[in-house]
Amino acid sequence: FQLYEHASTFPEKSYTRGSWQQGYQSLKQEFDYWISDVEGQIPPELHGTLFRNGPGLLDVNGHRIHHPFDGDGMISRITFSNSRAHFSNRFIRTIGYLEEQKAGKILYRGVFGTQKPGGWLANAFDLKFKNIANTNVIYWGDKLLALWEAAEPHRLDPYTLETLGKEYFKGVLSEGEAFAAHPRFDPSGSINGGEPCLVNFSIKPGLSSTITIFELDLTGAIVRKQAHSVPGFTFIHDFAITPNYCILFQNPVAFNPIPFVAGMRGAGECIKFQPNQKTRIVVINRNPDKKGVQILETHSGFVFHHANAFEVDDEIVIDSICYESFPEVKPESDFREVDFDALKPGQLWRFHVKLNEPPVWRELLENRCCEFPCIHPSKVGRPYRYLYMGAAHAETGNAPLQAFLKVDLELQERQFWSAAPHGFVSEPIFVPRPGSEKEDDGWLLGLVYDSTHHRSDVVILDANNLNLGAVARLHLKHHIPYGLHGNFTSE
């Protein structure tokens, strides 16, 4: 029942590390062109723009950065209209990007281990961060915003991608205040008169940590902001929402700031996973008048991304990609030389939470190595049936993402499209067909790095049946380094 576009079985591995590595070369050029090299046909009903963000630079003037999460944010914009597609990309002109490009060298320490030249002495006691705006890009309230979880958003022109400055939401966000890179779009906020709204959070880590929840209305104004303190250090990258709750997983990690302060390691390299400590599930009522925070415990594990959450009677169900341990970044090592086989894969788990009736129980939904979950936008926070993810080509083990996997949570069926052995995928985005009613009636859009041509393809799949192969493959004139997150807007 699983069909592969390249229907071969591979002798040992579905990839070579060498071909995977090439996708982590910097893209220095900025482009603006109509895509003319198209295989298949772009569906005429596919109208709108796919924005993507991710590290565009893996080096500053030849000086390598230590980890891709430290790379300067670059936006790619693919606009579809009348079966044609247009591509453009622009670096976000953050203060740090402009300064470093002018200097031709690394001037800032990165969270994930990039150091200024000159050894630890040159780095010690320099605790400031460069807001690299590299993790997500959203279009909300007529604003295009590039997000990075440790600082404020950057606002961009949605047409030219020109950087317009930092966004403070009419002063509700203060200078340097964080706005996470994982907002959730609630299709119908029950405490917002049924209007769509955007819910996001921010983390201020410390000996105890502050979690702030923001709710934005359709005009892009922050209409609700509530802050709560939870015990202990937190590293929380993503969260989930239901109509009544925000759910955050407080991963069991400890933070030792000394090597960071001493100039020896990046802050992210000072995070140590605590396998004997439980994961805490922090549940915050979205209605600030109701009982604030409840904390429950579950097995030790590390979660970057949640797929979705929903309420059934008095139960909250959360589907998340969970790792047995935090993939720690080692100061001595080169991320390009990663031994995939030595790491444990991320897998899809379902957590069942009853606020008044612990314990939490969990079940494994998908054994295959996967990341970057995505669903139908109108199912966010609600019971849902279909889930799409980036996945490894092989059924077991840890490996780079080379395929898209669709999971039917109702019938327990799978569909699969693989770009192996030469292709490597990024986060898929589901776009509903205009006027559609079925949950999987639409397209799955993804950027696929093609290592044989050292270029990226925009791949369009029929979400109703991934097994049928690509509807269209749009060959770009260049590659796009492996990215993080993006969104589609039909406006």
Question: Given the rule CB under 6 A, which residues bind ligand 3ON?
Answer: 69, 111, 129, 134-135, 149-150, 205, 235, 237, 255, 267-268, 271, 304, 371, 401, 482, 484
Compute the distance between CA of residue 201 and CA of residue 209 in angstroms, rounded to an integer: 13
Of 108 and 304, which has the nearer Cβ to ligand 3ON? 304
| Residue 243 phi, psi dihedral angles, 5° rounding | -55, -30
Of 131 and 415, which has the nearer Cβ to ligand 3ON? 131
| Shortest spacing between CB 408 and ligand 3ON, in angstroms | 23
The angle at the Cα of 483, spanning 48 to 434, to the nearest 5 degrees, equals: 20
Compute the distance between CA of residue 376 and CA of residue 374 in angstroms, rounded to an integer: 7
Q: Are strands 370-374 and 386-391 parallel, antiparallel or unpaired?
A: antiparallel
Of 267 and 375, which has the nearer Cβ to ligand 3ON? 267
| Shortest spacing between CB 317 and ligand 3ON, in angstroms | 22
| Shortest spacing between CB 258 and ligand 3ON, in angstroms | 13
| Shortest spacing between CB 181 and ligand 3ON, in angstroms | 7
* Cis ω before 358 (30° cut-off from 0): no
Of 91 and 235, which has the nearer Cβ to ligand 3ON? 235
| Shortest spacing between CB 415 and ligand 3ON, in angstroms | 21
Q: Are strands 486-489 and 48-55 parallel, antiparallel or unpaired?
A: antiparallel
Q: Residue 105: helix, strand or coil by DSSP?
A: coil
Compute the distance between CA of residue 403 and CA of residue 372 in angstroms, rounded to an integer: 11
Compute the distance between CA of residue 105 and CA of residue 109 in angstroms, rounded to an integer: 12
| Shortest spacing between CB 390 and ligand 3ON, in angstroms | 7
| Shortest spacing between CB 484 and ligand 3ON, in angstroms | 6
| Shortest spacing between CB 371 and ligand 3ON, in angstroms | 4
Residue 104 burial (C-beta neighbours within 10 Å; 0-12, 13-18, 19+):
exposed
Nearest to 415 by CA among 467, 366, 464, 461: 467
Give yes or no for a contact between 194 and 188, defined as CB atoms under 8 angstroms apart: yes
Nearest to 87 by CA among 99, 95, 75, 77: 77
Q: Residue 138: helix, strand or coil by DSSP?
A: strand
Of 271 and 407, which has the nearer Cβ to ligand 3ON? 271
Tokens coding 478: 């260049």
| Shortest spacing between CB 387 and ligand 3ON, in angstroms | 16
Of 284 and 484, which has the nearer Cβ to ligand 3ON? 484
The angle at the Cα of 388, spanning 380 to 411, to the nearest 5 degrees, equals: 90
Of 65 and 296, which has the nearer Cβ to ligand 3ON? 65
Give residues with Cβ within 8 angstroms of 334, minimum separation 6: none
Of 160 and 367, which has the nearer Cβ to ligand 3ON? 367
Nearest to 422 by CA among 12, 20, 7: 20
Of 272 and 291, which has the nearer Cβ to ligand 3ON? 272
Please report which helix (H) or strand (E) contains residue 240, including its range: strand 240-241
Compute the distance between CA of residue 225 and CA of residue 85 in angstroms, rounded to an integer: 39
Of 80 and 482, which has the nearer Cβ to ligand 3ON? 482
| Shortest spacing between CB 315 and ligand 3ON, in angstroms | 27
